[in-house]
Every structure is written in structure tokens, then in C-alpha cells.
Amino acid sequence: MKLWILQKHGQNLESASYESTRFLEEARVLGIDVDLVASEDIDLIVSRDGPRSIRRGGEQVNLPDGLLPRAGSGSDTFTLAVLRQFEHLAVPVINSSQAIEVVKDKLVCLQKLARANLPIPRTMLVRFPVVCDLVERQIGFPCVVKVLVGSHGEGIYLSRDRSSFRDLMELVWSLNGHQSLILQSYIGDRPGQDLRVWVIGGQVVGAMRRQSTDGSFKANITRGGRGEFWPMEPGIEVLARECAATLGLEVAGVDLLFDGDHYRVGEINSAPEFSGFEGATGLNIARQVLQHCIWRVTRQWQLPLVSPLTGDSPHDSSACPAIGSNDA
């Protein structure tokens, strides 16, 4: 089996990320051929030539059996067009271009979650000039200000009161009056903490609690946050699974906020990083993702989800090997 992993535009393949390195390691264990591919190396020709409409490095190549996009919210128009072309050519793309496009826009993502009656923070789209009285009535302070597209906690700001919010909006308006922003009610039950839940193939495989270490309200591991294993609860499992299903994601990182005895959906990631997650939980995420890709390529959705190596469900965390194990 040949699997292409499509990297973010501009990513240097010579200095592979933790995730890319782990995928290559586990591919050798599983006996599949994985190739890291830069999106800028792909040439797309729209024609009736079928497989010849995709070229790599200017050369005609054999299409892979499956494609795993890893650009996530960094998927630009070109990358999405490439994914759609592979889909037109009947190459399984995990996740689909449609799901990735929905999730990268935070407002569109939240609209779909709200329509499915899933718990999200109260959200408002910014319209300039901003009417602070309306924001105070509908969202309240403190409030979270977010750009529509972003990851790793970038483009997110906590306005703690009306005055700081007004100053921020005036600054944004003066720099770019067309900047698209959303405002959200601040869920502050456990400041600087959230849960990252991994969903693969419709199954929740594990959860990690993230805790900021610098007093920030952002708990991202990439910003220096600390991760630790979190025991699975029915409420977490059901909510994370429903989020992924609603958005059409086969592979998802679901971030949940603590809200009293319940949870609210913070953010959804279509290509989540997992260095911190594997370290905190001991779960072999790279292998589970690849096993799902194998199943998607070789099996129909109607058939049982079975590991091609062991006969066990590849998404059962009890059957999942620890990192470094050679047992599939």
C-alpha cells in the first residue's frame, strides 16, 4: 500500500516534524509505503486525463492508494483544490476536503456544531464599528476574541473588561477594518486548562488534560503547556464522537472546556499534532491513524473495522500498543 502524507504549504520536508517522523516509523512496522509530499510539489491539471491530471515535481507519477492531509487550518485554496482532485480520482482522502474546509473556518464549524445542538460557548461575529453595549449584553466580559482561521492558540485574546475590549477593537479597526473576528463567552471554571480528545474512525481513543504553565488562559502544548493522561468518561466520549461525526472528520482532535460538571466544545482540529499526547498517554496515535488509513483504502465502510495485522479494532485503546512496541 502506498500512502502520501500531504504537508502544509512551505513546510521543509528535510526537517521533519515529530508527527512526520512517527508516521514513517510506524509505517515501517505496518509494512506500508509512506511518502511525505509537499503541496507545492504538486501540479494540478484539470482535464479528462484521469490520473494524468496530477503531477509531482513536473513528472507524471502513479497515484497513491490513499492520501493523509496534514495541513489542517493551514490548508489554503491550492491545497484544498489538490485534495478535491484526488477525491475526483477516487483516491481516499483522510480527512475529506469538505471536512477540512469547514473546520478551518471557526465560525462555520461552530454553526454546524450549534445546529447539531452540541454545547459551544455563546459566539458572536464582529461587525465594525463594534457596539460595546451589544457585546456586553450578548456575550459579556471577560470575552474571548478569535480570528476565524488559526491554530496553536494563535490569534486568540482574552479581553478581561469592557475598556480593554474597546481599545483592542479600535486598534483592529484602525489597522484593518475588514478583519473577520468572533467573540465568545469566557468559560473560566478552570482557567488555563482544557481537554484534548483524539477521535479516529468514529472511536474515541484517549484524552489528555492540558494545563498552561505561564498563567495564560491558553493551554496549548505548543505554547509550553503541560499534558497529562485524563481518564475517559461517558460524557467526554459521546461529545467528542458527536463533534467529529457532525463535521465529517475521520481523524480529529477535539478540545473541550471545563464548564462546571459538564463540558463545552472549544476548538476542533482536522490535523492535530500529537507529540504531547503520545508522551502524556502512552498511546500510539501514529499507528492508529495509519491503521485507519489502511482500513479506509482496503475496506468498505459497511464492514467491521478490523486491524489488517491483529484482527483487533485498531481504535480500541486497550488493544493499542504503547509507543515503541513492535506488536501491532
In order of start, what are the domains of the chain with their CATH numbers?
A: 2-95 (3.40.50.20), 122-185 (3.30.1490.20)
Percent of the chain at pLDDT > 70 equals: 84
Instruction: Report the alpha-carbon distance of residue 55 to residue 299 in Å, rounded.
Output: 27
Nearest Cα residue to 100 out of 279, 264, 250: 250
pTM of the model: 0.87
Neighbours of 128 (CB within 10 A): 14
Residue-wise pLDDT tens digits, 49-75: 777 789 998 888 999 999 999 999 989
pLDDT digits (tens, 9 = 90+) for 238-295: 999 999 999 999 999 999 999 999 999 999 999 999 999 999 999 999 999 999 999 9
Q: How does residue 213 score in pLDDT terms, banded at 50, 70 and 90?
A: confident
Mean pLDDT, all residues of the chain: 87
Cα 41 to its chain centre, rounded Å, is: 23
Cβ contacts of 321 within 8 Å, gap of 6 or more: 284, 287, 327, 328
Sheet holding 2-7, edge to edge: 33-38, 2-7, 66-69
- Rounded to whole angstroms, how far apart are CA atoms 265 and 113? 9
Integer Cα distance of 91 and 80 in angstroms: 14
More confident residue, 156 or 321: 156
DSSP-assigned beta bridge partners for residue 143: 159, 185
